[in-house]
Structure 1
Amino acid sequence: MMIESTAGYPLPRESEEQPSETALRRQKAAIPVSTYRLQLNKGFTFAKATRLVPYLRRLGISHCYVSPYLKARPGSTHGYDIVDHGAINPEIGSAEAFDRFVAELQRHGMGLIADIVPNHMGVMGSDNLWWQDVLENGQASGYADFFDIEWHPVNQALQNKLLIPVLGGLYGEILEQRQLTLEFDATLGEFGIYYFQHRFPVDPQTYPLILNSQHAQLTKAFAPDDPVFPEYQTLDNSFSKLPPSTETTEEKKEERRRDKEVFKKHLARLCADNPPILRFIADRVAEINRSGGENGEMHALLEKQVYRLAYWRVAGDEINYRRFFDINDLAGLRIEDEKVFDTTHQLILSQLGQGKIQGLRIDHADGLYDPVAYYERLNKKMAAILSNIEAEPKDMPPVYVVAEKIVANYEYLSSDWPIHGTTGYEFANIVNGVFIDGNAEAQLTRCYGRFARKRQDFGELVYQSKKRVMTTLMGGELSVLANQLGKIANANPKTRDYTLNALREALSEVVACFPVYRTYINGNSIGKKDSQYINWAVEQARQRSRAADKTVFEFIRNILLLEQHSPVSERERLKFAMKLQQYTAPVMAKGYEDTACYRYNRLISVNEVGGDPGHLGYSVNAFHYFNQERLKKWPHSMLSLSTHDSKHSADARARINVLSEIPQQWQEVVLRWRKLTKRPKSKAGRTAIVWDDEYLFYQVLIGTWPLTPMDETTLKDYRERIRAYMIKAVREAKLYTSWIDPNEEYEQAVDAFVCRCLDTNTNPMFLREFTEFEKRIRTPGLLNALAQTVLQLTSPGMPDIYQGCELWQFTLVDPDNRRPPDFDRRHQAMERLEAMLAKPDQNRLQLLRSLLASMEDGRIKLFVVMQTLRFRLRHAALFQTGDYLKINIQGSGAEHLLAFARKDRNHFVIIVVPRLIAALYIDKAEPPGGFWNGTRLELPPAAPEEYRDLFGQCRASTVRAEDQLQLCLPSSFGLFPFAIMSTPPESAP
């Protein structure tokens, strides 16, 4: 089978059989039956999560899966900006509150999956003690090696310095405006420079610039024979003789660490015992704070520090510490260092050893220097704690472990990774594609081109977006890499004529052409796929390059494939190759996900993390193929539909997907809306909102429009959500405005357009026509959402429900999708459903009719989720290790159904869902029950003959036709077109 990427990069998805011992190793850990993701923060604490546990268990969940809960920056809504790996976030709760949460889970027979962040930490501010220590002591800090810092960058002005891009304006202007202030903490005997909430410690070796023991004011304050004055002078001199911040020998670093603290305490004591000294220091601090400009003492003091404060815009060009993407406040950790690993994982491993955690989600796997080595080390540590055994490097983890890893549709996760799978982006995209009519691709492309008045190739757009990211956001990291490559080139007479600029430009081309997020080279043995990706990228870069000498690309290829003979050690060349791998991933993420996906709006339901906007739709056969491959290679990989990183929730995508089934109607209505929402021109005469952004806006409304009528208050709330989203979207697109260079005029125009469209007084005709269209496509959209939910909960893998998604969730990218759900409403809906299901005389068809008649309240989705999760919980082995069988379909409805079976020694279960059914429901008064008559499923010869449907509780029987065992759809299918048919017949609880 050949899958093609948007960049035109073809790779066969080979059927790589794994050794049987590998398959066995994957069975060691206790695998969750299902998980429920909760976003913890100060608005949703451990206490609230604890109260939710009984509800989750009744829903059918086996494990609670929570966002990071270690101490993060105050006010963090997500927990990924950790500042202390050794403490629980006090905003979420205490250690005791965490223990109560764990105890409640265990009381209900449930486990806990923790989300951990090994790649980076929150910095700036004043709360990360490791970062503060680095700012104070530079390379002499005991934590200097914890962070990924280039102390010797190309810019000579930054030699042995750390660039801190935090200022809101140019450094000279900030200095003259006296926005930087020196402060003295008399109780600790230490100095710090402050800029709003940010603290920058002063290097103790430079304290004499402040203490100034020769100052005339001091001689007036003390008598000639006062012993305090010489004591103060001696201390001043002692600070100046500390080992410098550039010291890297352990002996000298320890001497500095010990002595500076002794001297600080000495200074604090002198100040406490001698008010004149405290007054003098206060005067000196005030004197320095009054000095502005380049000739002032503040500037002189700052020039002597191990950091250089800079305008935040400087980061894109000169930053010399690795960040999480382009976020200056998140600094990369050198987790490959065992000391760093042990320190950052101590609390989490302790909780694992105490049985409080049963699994881990590893955030941002592609940011790690060597992911495979990281997982091997993690597994070894966990095995030692849990079993007191020495694990083999390739052993699978003793608890459930998944990695947040984006896999392209032509890429395989290597079987070398000793984990249970990924967090499921690839599943979300393949299942989404099943509900898109690929036959409409050409027509949707024409509609988009006609409306947006432009044509563009998505692969080219990705290339250009990645180039833009490297130019504006991540140029500093590229310069560091070019400098490292330049050192390798200069060591060889054959390559030393490659200039730094030539190397940098060539590297930029290679990265822009990279077809996957990254490769995983970590030694002399280079995998076939990694070699293919590198060769592809280098060749595409060579063809695109306008350089006069293109031999530089062969040099880069040889370095990356470790084939270049050089005086530079093999270790240094490998280090460069591995550092480049850490760079291609964030460039792809920022260029592809956070730029191109906001610029190409043909059908935004495919503009997702790991999605492929250049390709519309997947066939049923492709869906079966991916499921079979997952069962073979990663049977316990997580299955996700919505996550905290989704750009559009699964339910929103399901409704947008209906547009692919009615492309002509969509074109007509969207062109009509353009006329109804005429936009005024800007002062420059340019259209206020560009056509592309308007096209995006209409699709956003289709996906997120509330199902219940809105009054003025709820309409206002909805309008605010869409306003916020549209501003974020146009900034991410980076065409007419951006995060680093906001265009206020354009953003106001976009905002005004949204407000006009969503105002009943300003544009009632548009709202009336829009709501009429949305209601026409609503039912097939909601049925799409139910169908993909059934597929998620029954396909090979481990399903995760994102918080609140057991009812309808029509959310957009964060922060919209991180708003806390109304769990009281969900609990009440469950109570009502359970009461109805418990009635002895309950007619199941009547219940289905009732749920269908009130689809807007979401109980129908809760019913599907509850019934399926509970069924899965009762038959966990079937869904975790059972076979997956593709089911062929015959009859009039064959093209509109997807069916498969799960089978083990004791059970045979058939799952059937509808797809591409808009024509059956749009403008139809009644469900198309008769349409499915005559549609039959072709079963294997040894399949059972009698079944009962989980949802409708109707029996379904088989018939034989020409030696083919065929199953008729249950009678309830015409009303409720979903079925989970099991044998022996089972009644749902």
Structure 2
Amino acid sequence: MSPPRALARLQFHAGFTLDDAVDVVGYYHHLGVSHLYASPILRARAGSTHGYDVVDCHEVNPEIGGEDALRRLVAALRAHGMGLVLDIVPNHMGVGVENAWWMDVLRHGRESRYAGYFDIEWQAPDPLLRNRLLLPILGAGYAATLREGHLRLARRRDRWMLRVYDDHLPISPASEAALGDDAATVHDPSTDAGRAALHALVERQHYRLSFWKLASDMVNYRRFFDINELAGLRIERTAVFEDTHRTIFRLYAEGLIDGVRCDHVDGLADPRRYCRQLRHRLDRLRVQRPAQAPRDTAYLVVEKILATDESLRLDWRTDGTTGYEFMDQVSAVLHDAAGEGPLTELWRNLTGEGADFATQAVRARRQILVDSFESELDRTARALFAAARADVVTRDVSLAAIRRVLVELLVHFPVYRTYAGGAGRDAYDDAVFARAVEGALRTIRLEDVDLLHLVAGWLGGEAPRALPPGPVRRARERAIAVFQQATSPVAAKAVEDTAGYRYGRLLSRNEVGVDAASLAISADAFHRCCAERAASLPHTLLATATHDHKRGEDLRARLAVLSEVAGRWVVTVERWRVRHAGFRQRTDDGRIAPSAADELMLYQMLVGAWPLDLAPDDEEGVERFATRIAAWQRKALREAKRWTRWTSPNEPYEDGCEDFLRSLLSSAAAAELSAFAGYIAVPGAANGLAQTALRLTTPGVPDLYQGTDYWDFSLVDPDNRRPVDFLARAASLDRDASPADALASWRDGAVKQAVVGRLLRLRRDHPELFARGTYRPLAASGPAADHVLAFVREHRGQKLVVAVARHTAEWLGGSDAPSIPADRWAGTSLALPAGHWRDVFGADRSHGGECAMAGLMGELPVAAWFAGKT
């Protein structure tokens, strides 16, 4: 059962438990899935809806049923011949009172046995933080919090603790030993003397309490991005690796899981070492697995954002990534490059913003460094400064100069991170640094040019291993590790969570792992990507929807149609801008809400996400839709960080934007929005089916995110984690209608499910064809050849030809169903290799050779034909 044939991702939380998953195992088995793919299941913070804030690595989360429920789920899976792949979080933990390791560090400081588990800078330059941990948990300034009585000494479980709001923090053993029975009275914050005594007690602890907004400037532990409640782990330490993975390894050894997906691998000090270490440990545990569990090699993939020209290192010994690069490629090949000019011009004319996406990303990086990562910037600068001070040749380099150089390198860094180690950088990373240095040279002070090249050398251009053992070598290695852990969160927050919400040329290309500067790729480019994947990482995941996506897969597929009808879209938006001017508001600070950029992005979201069954006069339905869009809009405005942000919400601007939205949807404008959404809905559905077919048949292992077996018009989280109607899905699957028959009621999503089910069952019947089959492009001929993307997979006499239609707006725009009339294919054909072919989606048969596209496709925008042993 290795590698998996297809994964189905489920998000576990108190509202959908492991026992709830037992009830859907039969459905996924019937659909053709081989493995469930679970979000993190170790104990997380109470009420967590995602599981990435693990607080106890040794326990299966009781909120989702605990280990007993896990065993029930695995028993159900094994009964159906299925397995389980588990999402794990090696980079960080949720911290707070629920994390016993963190509480032990607060109580004992550097003497805690867990002090080395967390990535804490105990020797911070601030004297107030030396050998202390900054806790940015106060809702206001420290003095006000103390004065208002939110800090007090309290007795809890026979121990004195510091009560902070409703939480209780430990105090050091020495402090506790000095307290008498009247300690609460002596430290009463309602009196001047009590406040002074309480303050003196707080100052003697191994932590320093502060206002939460100080974290970005002062925090001395590595965070996950800029989230104070998620603290980085020193997973590169063997003891930490073993302790945090103890339960994972036990679950694997006992046959309860069959593989892992490693979250945020770029946050680790040494991803290569970690992945190889993990693979080694899993390989050693295989012999302990029970007879009923597969003893094949564990499935191992990593969450990694790859640049367009970047490949996952094969020496990491993983099966691949979680599939963001495929999400980018399959989206881009369904976009029309002809729309780039008109869409870019519309964006620039309406917004007055001439900067392209790359420029927006650079600006966002510069802002993010100041707004969110000052402490991380200082930490990295100090590591480089230590490297300079360690060598007598560079002892006169100043910290301020290093910081200036570092800023420019980070601002212009073109990828998420590099992977230099003791041997220095490889050729790819050298090219990355060359691009970063080239960008930095355009903006750096002339006096810092020499230092820029020097710093680039310290960061892996010169191999530390070539230096003699000693302080210089250690300082260089430390600087490399700290720098490489800094680039990834800066990139993610700047590109995904800032520039991606600022640049609105076409939102279907603003997605995790996607370069929004690239609107489309050719069919040939897509084929090259597939062939490379087949040759290098044939078992990598293929995703088109994830728990982190910004827009649902079918929402993006519908918005892609705008690249085909760009002229019509431009005219429509310009008309709407004039007609809806009266809905805009001027806020107290003189700003117009929404701005032109925010208005244009809102229009895209409204026509892209408009529900297929929503009539504009359905007041209740429109209200539900408005509420969902309003939640997206408020989050998008804050992520963009232009007129408002999470740390300083500009509520008048946000409210003005929401009022504009609701005015649109409560006026005649709703009918126009609905009409345009209807015009692009059918070619968008054709795109959605094409995207689905390509994910299920090109080289790799398809990942089916929960609920996306029907149409997926979800928005960014938490909207994309809404409950799934599995009963409706099971009922339509039981009817077993062919995709062609399901076209009549295509709006309910059953046609997509029919395509998914038939292709997954084909994968189940012929696993080797998909796991090992070659990939070869096929070229159609005739007047509509450019509308065809086709290829053949082949392995030991088995063959599969897949063809999908693309750029169908001129055929399907405004029509009733994603059914392509036969006359559109007139004169266009595709040559099938020799063989006895059967239609995977119907009952037709063919002997191969030159076949008319109308015959191959039937009414559908997708076709799959199989030949060979059954």
TM class by smaller structure: over 0.9
Equivalent residues in 2 for 1:302-341, closer than 5 Å? 302-341=202-241
Correspondent of 1:869 among 736, 760, 771: 760
Match of 1:692 in 2: 597
The reply to whether residue 756 of structure 1 matches residue 725 of structure 2 is: no
Match of 2:634 in 1: 727
Is the 1:291–1:298 Cα contact (8 Å) retained in structure 2? no
Match of 2:189 in 1: 289
The reply to whether residue 43 of structure 1 matches residue 12 of structure 2 is: no
The 1:767–1:292 alpha-carbon spacing in structure 2 relative to 1, beyond 3 Å, is: farther
TM-score between the two structures when normalised by the length of structure 2: 0.95
Correspondent of 2:826 among 910, 927, 933: 933
Match of 2:649 in 1: 742
Q: Could you report, residue by residue, the CA deviation over 1:725-744 in whole angstroms, capped at 9, with x for unpaired residues?
A: 00000000000000111111
Match of 1:365 in 2: 265
Is the 1:490–1:496 Cα contact (8 Å) retained in structure 2? yes
Query: In 2, distance between residues paired with 1:209 and 1:504?
Result: 44
Correspondent of 2:586 among 678, 681, 688: 681
User: CA shift at 1:397, angstroms?
Assistant: 9.1
Is the 2:59–2:66 Cα contact (8 Å) retained in structure 1? no
User: CA shift at 1:573, angstroms?
Assistant: 1.0
The 1:972–1:911 alpha-carbon spacing in structure 2 relative to 1, beyond 3 Å, is: closer
Match of 2:374 in 1: 475
Equivalent residues in 2 for 1:508-587, closer than 5 Å? 508-546=407-445, 548-561=447-460, 563=462, 568-587=471-490
Match of 1:631 in 2: 534
Is the 1:641–1:792 Cα contact (8 Å) retained in structure 2? yes
Correspondent of 1:657 among 542, 560, 567: 560
User: CA shift at 1:681, angstroms?
Assistant: 2.4
Is the 1:121–1:330 Cα contact (8 Å) retained in structure 2? yes
Query: In 2, distance between residues paired with 1:209 and 1:117?
Result: 40
Match of 1:794 in 2: 697
The reply to whether residue 978 of structure 1 matches residue 862 of structure 2 is: yes
Equivalent residues in 2 for 1:405-416, closer than 5 Å? 405-416=304-315
Is the 1:147–1:333 Cα contact (8 Å) retained in structure 2? yes
Structure 2 counterpart of 1:784, one-letter code: N
Q: How many residues align?
A: 855
Correspondent of 1:455 among 351, 354, 362: 354
Is the 2:420–2:480 Cα contact (8 Å) retained in structure 1? yes
Match of 2:245 in 1: 345
Correspondent of 1:399 among 275, 295, 298: 298
Where 1:40 maps in the other structure, the secondary structure is coil
Query: In 2, distance between residues paired with 1:508 and 1:623?
Result: 36
Query: In 2, distance between residues paired with 1:435 and 1:361?
Result: 28
Correspondent of 2:685 among 757, 782, 790: 782
The 1:322–1:906 alpha-carbon spacing in structure 2 relative to 1, beyond 3 Å, is: same
The reply to whether residue 828 of structure 1 matches residue 727 of structure 2 is: no
Where 1:597 maps in the other structure, the secondary structure is helix
Is the 1:957–1:967 Cα contact (8 Å) retained in structure 2? no
Is the 1:382–1:397 Cα contact (8 Å) retained in structure 2? no
Structure 1 counterpart of 2:568, one-letter code: Q
The reply to whether residue 441 of structure 1 matches residue 340 of structure 2 is: yes
Structure 1 counterpart of 2:174, one-letter code: Q
Structure 1 counterpart of 2:452, one-letter code: F
| Larger CA deviation: 478-487 vs 900-909 | 478-487
Correspondent of 1:110 among 82, 94, 114: 82
TM-score between the two structures when normalised by the length of structure 1: 0.84
Is the 2:387–2:479 Cα contact (8 Å) retained in structure 1? no
The 1:293–1:585 alpha-carbon spacing in structure 2 relative to 1, beyond 3 Å, is: farther
Q: Could you report, residue by residue, the CA deviation over 1:192-218 in whole angstroms, capped at 9, with x for unpaired residues?
A: 11222433211111235533xxxxxxx
Query: In 1, distance between residues paired with 2:401 and 2:701?
Result: 48
Match of 2:842 in 1: 952
Is the 2:789–2:803 Cα contact (8 Å) retained in structure 1? yes
Query: In 2, distance between residues paired with 1:543 and 1:687?
Result: 34
Where 1:405 maps in the other structure, the secondary structure is coil
User: CA shift at 1:537, angstroms?
Assistant: 1.3
Q: Could you report, residue by residue, the CA deviation over 1:569-607 in whole angstroms, capped at 9, with x for unpaired residues?
A: 312211210111011000000001000000000000010
The reply to whether residue 182 of structure 1 matches residue 182 of structure 2 is: no
Match of 2:135 in 1: 164
User: CA shift at 1:934, angstroms?
Assistant: 2.2
Percent identity reads 40
Is the 1:601–1:695 Cα contact (8 Å) retained in structure 2? yes
Match of 2:717 in 1: 814
Is the 1:899–1:913 Cα contact (8 Å) retained in structure 2? yes
The 1:972–1:494 alpha-carbon spacing in structure 2 relative to 1, beyond 3 Å, is: closer
Where 1:673 maps in the other structure, the secondary structure is helix
Is the 1:524–1:562 Cα contact (8 Å) retained in structure 2? no
Is the 1:688–1:750 Cα contact (8 Å) retained in structure 2? yes
The reply to whether residue 374 of structure 1 matches residue 274 of structure 2 is: yes
Structure 2 counterpart of 1:704, one-letter code: A
Structure 2 counterpart of 1:179, one-letter code: H
Match of 2:544 in 1: 641
User: CA shift at 1:295, angstroms?
Assistant: 6.8
The reply to whether residue 887 of structure 1 matches residue 778 of structure 2 is: yes
Query: In 2, distance between residues paired with 1:422 and 1:397?
Result: 19
Query: In 2, distance between residues paired with 1:500 and 1:638?
Result: 43
Query: In 2, distance between residues paired with 1:517 and 1:397?
Result: 32
Q: Could you report, residue by residue, the CA deviation over 1:36-82 in whole angstroms, capped at 9, with x for unpaired residues?
A: 00000000001110010000000010000010010000000000000
The 1:31–1:522 alpha-carbon spacing in structure 2 relative to 1, beyond 3 Å, is: same
Query: In 2, distance between residues paired with 1:479 and 1:685?
Result: 36
Equivalent residues in 2 for 1:480-519, closer than 5 Å? 480-519=379-418
Is the 1:780–1:922 Cα contact (8 Å) retained in structure 2? yes
Where 2:316 maps in the other structure, the secondary structure is coil
Query: In 2, distance between residues paired with 1:617 and 1:880?
Result: 28
Q: Could you report, residue by residue, the CA deviation over 1:748-769 in whole angstroms, capped at 9, with x for unpaired residues?
A: 111111111122xxx1x21111
Query: In 1, distance between residues paired with 2:213 and 2:337?
Result: 43
Q: Could you report, residue by residue, the CA deviation over 1:337-391 in whole angstroms, capped at 9, with x for unpaired residues?
A: 11111111111111100111111100001011111111111122112222379xx
Please, which runs of 5 or more residues in structure 2 have no aligned partner? 290-294
Equivalent residues in 2 for 1:192-271, closer than 5 Å? 192-211=161-180
Query: In 2, distance between residues paired with 1:734 and 1:477?
Result: 20
The 1:644–1:496 alpha-carbon spacing in structure 2 relative to 1, beyond 3 Å, is: same
Query: In 2, distance between residues paired with 1:709 and 1:729?
Result: 24
Query: In 1, distance between residues paired with 2:842 and 2:657?
Result: 48
Please, which runs of 5 or more residues in structure 1 have no aligned partner? 1-28, 212-276, 390-395, 838-846, 960-965
Query: In 2, distance between residues paired with 1:609 and 1:166?
Result: 30
User: CA shift at 1:496, angstroms?
Assistant: 2.5
- Structure 1 runs (4+) deviating above 6 angstroms are 564-567
Q: Could you report, residue by residue, the CA deviation over 1:781-830 in whole angstroms, capped at 9, with x for unpaired residues?
A: 00100011000000000001000000011011111101121111211221
Structure 2 counterpart of 1:358, one-letter code: D
Match of 1:272 in 2: none
Q: Could you report, residue by residue, the CA deviation over 1:524-566 in whole angstroms, capped at 9, with x for unpaired residues?
A: 2531111221232123213311253322112211211253879
The 1:293–1:169 alpha-carbon spacing in structure 2 relative to 1, beyond 3 Å, is: farther
Cα RMSD for the two superposed structures: 1.9
User: CA shift at 1:935, angstroms?
Assistant: 1.4
Q: Could you report, residue by residue, the CA deviation over 1:880-917 in whole angstroms, capped at 9, with x for unpaired residues?
A: 10111110110111000100000011211100000001
Where 1:144 maps in the other structure, the secondary structure is coil
Match of 1:54 in 2: 26
The reply to whether residue 969 of structure 1 matches residue 853 of structure 2 is: yes
Is the 2:147–2:195 Cα contact (8 Å) retained in structure 1? no
Match of 1:714 in 2: 621
User: CA shift at 1:521, angstroms?
Assistant: 1.3
Where 2:712 maps in the other structure, the secondary structure is coil
Is the 1:466–1:587 Cα contact (8 Å) retained in structure 2? yes
User: CA shift at 1:157, angstroms?
Assistant: 2.0
Query: In 1, distance between residues paired with 2:244 and 2:865?
Result: 48
